[in-house]
Chain A
Amino acid sequence: MHSTNQIIRFVLIMTSLVALVLSLMYTGLKPTHDLNEAIYAKKAILAAVQEKLGIDASSLPVEEIQEIFDNSIKQEVYDMKGNLLTPEQVEAAGYKGGLAENIDINKEAKKPEADRILPMYKYKDDSNEFTILSVQGKGLWDVIWGNIALEKDMKTIAGVDFDHKGETPGLGAEIKDNAAWKKQFVGKSIFDSADNYTGIAVMKGGAKEPTWQVDGISGATITADGVGEMLKRGLNYYGPVIKKMKKS
Chain B
Amino acid sequence: MAQAQVAAKQSSIGFGKAERKLLTDPLDSNNPVTVQVLGICSALAVTTGMKNALVMAIAVVFVTMFSNMITSALRNAIPKAVRMIVQLIIIATLVTIVELTLKAVAFDSYKQLSVFIGLIITNCIVMGRLEAFAMANGPYKSMLDGIGNGVGYGIILLMVAFVRELFGKGELFGAKLIGNTPEYLLDTTTTWGLGWYSNNNLMVLFPSAMFVIGAIIWAHRAWNPSLVDVS
B182 touches A2 (CB 8 A): no
Among B77, B79, B89, find the residue whose CB has the most chain A CB atoms closer than 10 A: B79
Nearest CB to that of A218 among chain B residues? B185
Which of the segments A21-29, A190-198, A229-237 contacts the partner chain? A21-29
Q: Does B100 contact A (CB under 8 A)?
A: yes
* Closest Cβ–Cβ distance, residue B159 to chain A (whole Å): 19
Beta-carbon contact of B182 and A181 below 8 Å: yes
Main secondary structure of the interface of A (DSSP, over half): helix
- CB closest residue in chain A, given B45: A169
What DSSP secondary structure best describes chain B's contact surface?
A: helix
Smallest distance from the beta carbon of A6 to chain B beta carbons, Å? 6
> Digit string of B179-198 for contact with A (CB within 8 Å is 1, else 0)?
00111111000000000000
CA distance A28 to B100 in the complex (A): 10
A25→B205 CA distance, assembly (Å): 36
Query: Within the complex, what minimum Cβ distance (angstroms) separates A60 from chain B?
Result: 13
Annotate A171-188 by CB proximity to B: 1 below 8 A, 0 otherwise: 100100111110110000
Q: Are B104 and A33 in contact (CB under 8 A)?
A: yes
Q: 0/1 per residue, B97-109, Cβ < 8 Å to A?
A: 1001101100110
B residues in contact with A58, CB < 8 Å: 108
Instruction: With A25-B97, A217-B185 given, name 16 new contacts (CB 8 A).
Output: A2-B79, A6-B79, A10-B86, A11-B82, A14-B89, A18-B89, A26-B100, A29-B103, A33-B100, A36-B107, A170-B201, A171-B201, A171-B205, A178-B185, A180-B185, A180-B186
- 8 CB contacts below 8 A, A to B, read A6-B79, A10-B79, A11-B82, A32-B103, A39-B107, A169-B48, A179-B182, A217-B185
- Chain A residues at the B interface, C-beta cutoff of 8 Å: 1-2, 6-7, 10-11, 14-15, 18, 21-22, 25-26, 29, 32-33, 36-37, 39-40, 58, 168-171, 174, 177-181, 183-184, 215, 217, 219
Residues of B within 8 A of A (CB): 48, 77-82, 85-86, 89, 93, 96-97, 100-101, 103-104, 107-108, 111, 168, 181-186, 201, 204-205
